[in-house]
Structure 1
């Protein structure tokens, strides 16, 4: 079977590309790389320096109204790995300082790890996740 080596990038559809780009930069520390005006959409590309993760934010000319809903087929949520359990507490304080609604740091019922859940301006669910060592 052919292989792959990891995640290259993640593209998300947003309702206001500038507001979302500002939010991802302010809350998650992503750096803006470029803005592209295409015939059918505006795209802003951001990069997380420490991990190299690229996130593309797309505002389509013919976007459908309504907030993101993970109960519809498609994306459920985006999980971002943290190095250790204490990092979740740091993120919880950071999100609070930036006025971002979030869950408490919560151990998964399966015992596999611990999560901190929050949402971006378009209601896309994001999660910081620490995997408990096996």
Structure 2
């Protein structure tokens, strides 16, 4: 079988890159590493990199989105999960999210993965993001 060697990027469709990019930068600490303001089809893309992440997160705004917010019950993305190194860092994230007025779930064990701790939140388009720590693998 041919080999896969990693994930290069994840692209999320958003309704407004001008609203979403500052949120990802301010709340999650991402930095803009590039942008394609509009190609011939009217698509706008912003390329972000998070501290410690080896992949690029691309936020894509299509000219016609229908104005609907994200719904994980439709085919496509269900959620995007980021790992954090320790439960203590997960607690620090709850402080940061609260400071930025972001609604999030309490720290809890992921029901399908004993020995983990997670919090869930949503970006400005309602895309569910999860912060995850495997307590057995804490650094």
What TM-score results when the alignment is normalised by the length of structure 2?
A: 0.90
Map of 1:33-112 to 2, 5 A cutoff?
33-36=33-36, 37-40=38-41, 41-110=43-112, 111-112=114-115
Query: Distance in 2 between the 1:74 and 1:121 partners?
Result: 18
Deviation at 1:24, TM superposition (A): 0.4
Equivalent residues, number: 134
Question: Which portions of structure 1, spanning 4 or more consecutive aligned residues, are displaced by more than 4 angstroms?
Answer: none
- Can you give the 5+ residue segments of structure 2 that lack an aligned partner in the other structure? none
Query: Distance in 2 between the 1:21 and 1:4 partners?
Result: 29
Deviation at 1:48, TM superposition (A): 1.4
* Bigger fraction of residues in strand: 1
The residue number in structure 2 matching 1:120 is 123
Shift in CA distance, 87/49, structure 1 to aligned 2, threshold 3 Å: closer
RMSD, aligned CA: 1.4
Q: SS in structure 2 opposite 1:22?
A: helix
What TM-score results when the alignment is normalised by the length of structure 1?
A: 0.93
Question: What whole-Å deviation, never above 9, does each CA across 1:45-75 have from its counterpart, x for those lacking one?
Answer: 1111322321111110121221100011111
